[in-house]
Amino acid sequence: LHQNSMLISWIEAFWLVCTAVVLFPGLIIIKFPKFSTLLNNCFKYGKSLSVGCHSNWELIQVPKRWFTHFYIVAVITTSYTLFNVFHCYIANGLISKSLQEMLLLLRKPVWSGNNFHIDEISPRLNEQTVLLCSILLWFHAIRRFYESAFVSVYSDSKMNCWHYILGLIYYILMPFSILVEAPKFRPNDRYVAAQSYAFMTSVQMFGLFLFLWSSYMQHQCFLILAAARRNNLGNIVNHEHGIIHGGWFDLVSCPHFLFEILIYLSVWFCQRMTWNVWCYVLIFVYTNQIIAAKITHDWYRQKYSQYPKHRTALIPILI
């Protein structure tokens, strides 16, 4: 085992930094809500963001409905990666040198020095797994874009520019976190014999089932959220926040966050639970969704005295 294979790569370091950026301020805000207005305005978004903040803050805030931009970027990046996967594995085409070099740079260990050699890192996913995961991420991006653009009814709430920028970067790098582990995507990569794409392990089949179920359940959550702002004819009647009822909202405040976690977890199951770059993506997603759910849950409890006491933030009974 090469020493460099045990080191953190640049893309893994990026996900760890993002996790730290979310985790530590998030814990401070949850534990000490009034600790810093500066921190709150930088970190919170949507309903939990302070209303009527200083005009200087308004200059660096964007509408929360710009979340749709995230999914436009996601559709573009996942389509690009899926095209290259099909081109390489199905059509036996060649991958562009620029893409290979970019992926190699992302996978290169941070502290590799001048002694780094390409053979010291190897793909940790096989062709079938990369193809399956690329399809799932593309489907997820398409669905979330549809929901954000045509289902969700956004309020007039805001989010900080740094949150917006981080979201864009996230959806750019997320699909490449699969591609950096793909065979045939490195410069001068040795030829790997074509595989049968019909075979799936039991773990992968469970992952696929979990992905489809979680996607359906998350879609139901967004339908319930949208219905709270529409009348029986489907017309938008308000943009206000309120206590949501129905489905998993009767159990937790943020079931759509829970299913987001399960969707990303299902992709890892489809990778046969192999330790790779995607694990760092999972760590970030878990951290981000748990922190966001706790902040949202606390906001509901503070704003509505009649908020159901049995509801938890993210996981029924537990969190």
Which pLDDT tens digit goes with each residue over 120-150? 678 889 999 999 999 999 999 999 999 999 9
290 within some domain = yes
Query: Could you give the CA distance from residue 118 to residue 138 in angstroms, rounded to a whole number?
Result: 29
14 within some domain = yes
**Other C-beta atoms within 10 Å of 245: how many?**
10
Encoded tokens for 35: 């600790």
pLDDT of residue 3: 47
* 208 or 302, higher pLDDT: 208
Under a CB-based contact definition with an 8 Å cutoff, are residues 287 and 23 in contact?
A: yes
**Other C-beta atoms within 10 Å of 246: how many?**
13
| Mean pLDDT calculated for residue range 57-74 | 83
Query: Could you give the CA distance from residue 11 to residue 102 in angstroms, rounded to a whole number?
Result: 11
Task: Using the structure block, give the residue that is written with the tokens 């669905």.
Answer: 143
* 172 or 113, higher pLDDT: 172
**What's the pLDDT band for 52 if we cut at 50, 70, 90?**
very low
pLDDT of residue 35: 64
**191 pLDDT above the threshold of 50:** no
Least reliable range by pLDDT among 46-60, 174-188, 275-289:
46-60
**265 pLDDT above the threshold of 50:** yes
**189 pLDDT above the threshold of 70:** no
**55 pLDDT above the threshold of 50:** no
Query: Could you give the CA distance from residue 159 to residue 197 in angstroms, rounded to a whole number?
Result: 43
Percent of the chain residues topping a pLDDT of 90: 54
| Mean pLDDT calculated for residue range 29-57 | 62
35 within some domain = yes
55 within some domain = no
| Mean pLDDT calculated for residue range 280-307 | 92
**22 pLDDT above the threshold of 50:** yes
92 within some domain = yes
Least reliable range by pLDDT among 103-112, 203-212, 215-224, 263-272:
103-112
pLDDT of residue 187: 72
Identity of the highest mean pLDDT range in 2-11, 48-57, 81-90: 81-90
Query: Could you give the CA distance from residue 65 to residue 5 in angstroms, rounded to a whole number?
Result: 41
53 within some domain = no
Least reliable range by pLDDT among 63-72, 78-87, 235-244, 282-291:
235-244
The whole-model pTM stands at 0.89
Is 28 strand, coil or helix? helix
Least reliable range by pLDDT among 66-75, 199-208, 239-248:
239-248
* 151 or 162, higher pLDDT: 151
**64 pLDDT above the threshold of 80:** yes
- Domain span at residue 121 reads 10-47+62-189+199-303
Nearest to 184 by CA among 90, 106, 95: 95
Under a CB-based contact definition with an 8 Å cutoff, are residues 288 and 24 in contact?
A: no
Residue 165's alpha-carbon distances to 1, 162, 171, 227, in angstroms, are 38, 5, 10, 29
Chain mean pLDDT for the chain: 86
Percent of the chain residues topping a pLDDT of 70: 84
**Other C-beta atoms within 10 Å of 278: how many?**
24
52 within some domain = no
Task: Using the structure block, give the residue that is written with the tokens 């359940």.
Answer: 217
Instruction: Mark out the alpha helices in the chain (DSSP H runs).
Output: 10-31, 37-43, 55-58, 67-85, 97-107, 127-146, 161-173, 176-179, 202-227, 255-270, 277-303
318 within some domain = no
| Mean pLDDT calculated for residue range 180-195 | 70
| Mean pLDDT calculated for residue range 29-41 | 71
**Other C-beta atoms within 10 Å of 285: how many?**
23
Query: Could you give the CA distance from residue 27 to residue 24 in angstroms, rounded to a whole number?
Result: 5
Count up the domains in the chain and report the number. 1
Least reliable range by pLDDT among 17-21, 46-50, 214-218, 267-271:
46-50
